[in-house]
Chain A
Amino acid sequence: KQPDSGLGIDEEVSVQRRARVPGVKLDEVRLLGPAGIPRLRARAAHDLRLKGKGHEFSDASRLLSFYQLWLDDLFPKANFHDALAMVEKAGHKKLVVAARTEWINEAKPRPREGEE
């Protein structure tokens, strides 16, 4: 190795590009994370108040804005429609399917007893 000339031209300059920061995605991990469906369920339990019969349209608008605000917290980047499509797509993943069946089973009255 030659001695340093003092001008700084002998130092190796790294020309390799840094890898781009991967974009944030609304995938199954995010969806099942704490800000995802668990929060949706928690919020639904105590925030969502529907008036019921006779107020169908106002209830629907309340429900839709409920989902919209939740999605905005979960994934602020995308608008409502796109975010819904992404969530739907993630819903076919194995992890999510498993979680979904579990939630449904939770709510079932009794796991398998002589009903019929």
Chain B
Amino acid sequence: LDGTADTVHPEVRAHINSLASALGGVSADDDGRYQLGDDALEVLRDIKRWIRFYDEKTNRMDVARCIHEANLVEGDLLPILAQWPENAMDNKFRARIALACIELLVPLTWPMERDKEQMTVNHHRHMPVLELAQVQYKRGIINFDRARILHTAVRAALPSMAIPIGDRTPRDHAIIKLVLFFLRNLAIISPPPSVKYEGDESQVSRSVTIDAFSCQDIFMLLLTLSSNMGDEFRTEDTTVMDIIYHLVKRVDVDKLFMNDEQLNTAKAGELSAMMNKESAMLKAHNRKGPTRHNRFGTMIWVKRDGGKMSSLSGQDVLADAAMRNQKMDSSKTFRPPRRARKEDKDVRDLGPPAKLNARARHQLRSFVEDLLDSGFNPLFQHIRKTIDRKAPHVVQCHRRQFFYLVAWFLQAERVRRKAKKNTGQQNETGVGSFSLVAGVLNQEMFITLDRALHESYDHKDWHELSAVMRCFTQILLTVQEMAECGNEDDEEIAENVLSRLFYEESTHDAVVNIIKTYKHQDFDYLDAATELVHHFLRILEAYAKQNVDMQVRSRKRTRRKKQAAQRAGEDDSLDEEPDDSGNDEANAQRTSKERKFDFHRFCSKFTPQRVVDTFTTFTKYYRDLDDTQLKRAHRYFYRCAFKQDMSVMLFRVDIIHLLYNMVKGPEPLDKSSSMFDEWERLVKHILRRCFKKMEERPELIVEMLFSKLQSTAFYLEYGYERQTMSRS
């Protein structure tokens, strides 16, 4: 770069370069060891000051860019850290140098946010380079040969951690935080999705990260911190959660707990299933494909109503009417105007599904098991309290991470139990009880969950809401498993938990509302919502069958009283503003009364057209859904059409089109899969009922085009108007 086209101020570059060279260097005389400069500590402090007072104060990224170009991290900081031998723990000078290095590494590896409102031209200029630079830092740090850098970092914080919490100075707290942030940053960094990463992916992948964390005893640190959360450590909880979150996000729980043979068969099965799918696809394509070359030039006329003709070309149209219709359709170029999708900034956060190699899988698995055994309850209970009291160190994304992790670990615990049961391994010391995860099954947790459900729905924070829904689903599944485990104490607890979960009508309404108001959210949300509804209905049904006289608590205003109060208020104060006390009174008159719960009636809340539409949208992805997801959609349609007797809701041309295409269309479900038969039967039943209805009521031919109102649907289904009930 020449001076005119330089991206940063030349003086800044000069300063940083001179500092970097003053820090030290590889000595020429003895075997290329790193030699520390005379004022190394001062130099490190100076660089820190540059970062703080130039970059952060003025919101630029020039210094970070210069540091990257001076190769400070890999050339200097890592060799300096490596010079602190394990047996020299009491070397004060070395410890201070190491700490100063980490103080530099933390801001350099800090995750960058693309917050449109604060970005300047400098951000746009430097960020792409710095993102790649961070990946390079990560690669340097976790693959460093001569020393265990992460371990060294933890060693720098050990003296502070050894002090009891009451005696720690603010500086000690800051040191612990610093090291934890360092670990968290390394866990977060991954190659940016927008750019093609040119280096070796396998040097920065999740597997390598987990391997490094395991070999450098970071997992031990995390376990210690989480099992002592609440007494020796307090404000570190969210950071520990952050680290764990970035290690386990998008890791497939089922695969994690398989042994090698199972995993191999599973992978082989996946491969063969995929190849079968592909060959079926090709076969379906070839059967209808042309048998001659592409300039063979067939052209046909299709006779239509009123002496009209339409012409079509290509020999494939000779095959059958369906093909002709499809061809006629696909040649149309008009697309109705659509609103562009909003850009989703949070998608980056979760990333693609993580792939682990065998070694990392074993390491992560043993960590997860240890955490479940020792640290799960203290850690997550403490975080729940932190979130509930809205502590200052809680950020918005922590709530989402919390629910995601609770769901993930609950699933892991269930899968682990199942794996244990399959291998016939008997539980030695009461591991059979669910006490290991009891910390997230208490009443306080349900209150938090319920509130988060409502709040994230109200704030339209769909990503958080989908995490909450997944958490709710996992809790339901865990409790259900508890109720069937055979241990009497557990069964009793599960019974209590279920009754509490299903006691509140507001929760029921929230679930109904979520599925009803689906619109344009991403697939993950759709998946979570349908999953929740599926399990909620299923478990509630089983529960309602067991307990015939189930009661729910509903909050309802007694309208008569309220009107009376209003009238009285008007009489008393004709021109006064009604103040808050009147409102209070109205609130007080919100009586919560118990009423009998009728499952069938509750279920009918899931029959309106909008719920059907949501499930239809979900089913539209049938080519990509796996068996459990297909089953979920299948059960819903079955329930809607045959248990609730509202099959009329499904009689709409696009839904019929979808159902028909799933079985007989040009791209049907995989015929060899287990779900195909079930779907074929269901679709056949629905179609049969549809044609029967059309004979009975010819007006359905028009209504098939439209969404039906509840009253119309009721008439079409039963042939008479619904009697309005006085008590609802």
Contact = CB atoms under 8 A, between A and B. Distances in A.
A53 B704 CA distance: 20
| Interface-central residue, A44, A63, A68, A77, by most chain B CB under 10 Å | A63
Given A67-B653, A107-B699, A87 B706 contact: yes
A56 B684 contact: yes
Interface residues of A, number: 48
A57 B699 contact: no
B691 A52 contact: yes
Interface string A61-80: 10111011100110011111
Interface stretch (A2-10, A12-20, A98-106): A98-106
A107 B698 contact: yes
A104 B304 CA distance: 29
Interface stretch (B168-176, B329-337, B343-351): B329-337
Contact of B707 (A47, A63, A88): A88
Tell me whether chain B's interface is mostly helix, strand or loop, or mixed. helix
A56 B325 CA distance: 19
Contact of B698 (A44, A56, A60, A76): A44
B706 A104 contact: no
Interface stretch (B139-147, B633-641, B655-663): B655-663
A44 B322 contact: no
Contacts of B694: 50
B334 A77 contact: yes
B702 interface: yes
Contacts of A86: 336
B328 A57 contact: no
Nearest to B658: A81
B305 interface: yes
Nearest to B338: A82
B691 A50 contact: yes
B329 A79 contact: yes
Nearest to B304: A69
B281 interface: no
A44 B699 contact: no
A106 B698 CA distance: 11
Contacts of B308: 73
Contacts of B703: 100, 104
Interface in B682-725: 684, 687-688, 691, 694, 697-699, 701-707, 712, 715-716, 720, 723
Contacts of A77: 332, 334
B702 A37 contact: yes
B330 A68 contact: no
A79 B332 contact: yes
Contacts of A79: 329-330, 332, 334
B702 A84 contact: no
B694 to A, nearest CB: 7
Number of contact residues on B: which range applies?
35 or more
B699 A72 contact: no
Given A56-B687, A60-B656, A104-B712, A91 B707 contact: yes
Contacts of B699: 103-104, 106-107
A94 interface: no
B519 interface: no
Contacts of B588: none
B702 A41 contact: yes
B656 A64 contact: yes
A64 B660 contact: yes
A91 B705 CA distance: 8
B86 interface: no
Contacts of B688: 53, 56
Given A50-B694, A53-B688, A84 B332 contact: no
B705 A59 contact: no
Contacts of A87: 705-706
Contacts of A115: 720
Interface string B639-679: 00000000000001110110010011000000000000000
A37 B705 CA distance: 10
B321 interface: yes
A78 B334 contact: yes
B707 A57 contact: no
Contact of A61 (B329, B664, B720, B723): B664
B661 to A, nearest CB: 9
B336 A65 contact: no
A95 B702 CA distance: 15
A44 B473 CA distance: 46
Contact of B687 (A57, A69, A84): A57
A21 interface: no
Contacts of A80: 325, 329, 657
| Interface-central residue, B704, B705, B720, by most chain A CB under 10 Å | B705
A82 B305 contact: no
Contacts of A40: 701-702
10 contacts: A40-B702, A57-B687, A64-B656, A68-B329, A76-B332, A87-B705, A87-B706, A100-B703, A104-B703, A115-B720
Given A37-B702, A37-B705, A59-B687, 13 more contacts: A41-B702, A44-B701, A56-B691, A64-B325, A68-B328, A69-B304, A78-B332, A80-B325, A80-B657, A84-B705, A86-B336, A88-B706, A91-B705
